[in-house]
Amino acid sequence: QAVVTQEPSVTVSPGGTVTLTCGSSTGPVTSNHYPYWFQQKPGQAPRTLIYDTNKRQSWTPARFSGSLLGGKAALTLSGAQPEDEAEYHCLVSYGSSRMFGGGTRLTVL
């Protein structure tokens, strides 16, 4: 069974730029894994930010972008805001199966 890995925690300064990554134990993450990124704030349900590597939902702020970087899926936040402090989860598809990473706790400080 594949394992999806994310940084446990990352800190960014207000207004700064940060990149979160999502790797797979089976090898490079590609567009064929249709990677997703979700944001979850304490006590709330997750919210979909990015799908199919780099497509934003209609509610996703433009400061969030998705890409593939060094064999991993990546979520870049440019111009971090205090309200971006949250847990970020990636999801990778393996054929019919889906696997989440362990999540990254992003602190804006």
Partner 1 sequence: VQLVESGGGLVKPGESLTLSCAASGFVFYDYYMNWIRQAPGKGLEWISYISSDLRTTYYADSVKGRFSISRDNSRASLFLRINSLTVDDTAVYYCARGGVTSPFDFWGQGALVTVSS
Closest separation in Å from C-beta 101 to partner 1: 7
∠33-77-15 over CA atoms, to 5°? 175
Burial of 24 (0-12, 13-18, 19+ CB in 10 A): buried
Closest separation in Å from C-beta 63 to partner 1: 20
Q: Interaction with partner 1 in 70-89: which residues (CB under 8 A)?
A: 89
d(CA 88, CA 108): 13
> Rounded to an integer, what is the distance from CA 44 to the centroid of its chain?
17
Closest separation in Å from C-beta 92 to partner 1: 10
10 near partner 1, judged by CB under 8 A: no
91 near partner 1, judged by CB under 8 A: yes
Closest separation in Å from C-beta 20 to partner 1: 14
Q: Which residues contribute to the site for partner 1 (CB under 8 A)?
A: 1, 36, 38, 40, 45-48, 51-52, 55, 57, 89, 91, 96-103
